[in-house]
Amino acid sequence: MTRGGSNRLLTPAEVAEWLRVSETTVRNRYRAWGIKPQKVGRLLRFRERDIANYLDEHYG
């Protein structure tokens, strides 16, 4: 398992709140940020550990 975070799935709204950006920004930029989404049906979800790793790599 990679370092940081858990396998908990976050909604785009939860990720936006965590990153202090809009939900639209998350939906439009996750590919550019290199964050892989998890599809649940047709819904986007993001693993908490992937967001934590992104923050560590780029801002930590």
Q: Cα 9 from chain centroid?
A: 9
Exposed, middle or buried by CB within 10 Å (0-12, 13-18, 19+), for 19?
Answer: middle
User: What pLDDT is recorded for position 1?
Assistant: 41
Quote the pLDDT of residue 6: 84
| pTM, entire model | 0.84
Pick the closest to residue 4 from 48, 60, 38 (CA basis): 48
Q: What is the mean pLDDT of each successive set of 10 residues along the chain, which is 60 residues long?
A: 72 96 97 94 95 91
Reported for 21-28, long-range contacts at CB under 8 A and 24+ positions apart, including other chains, are none
Q: 46 - beta bridge partners?
A: 10
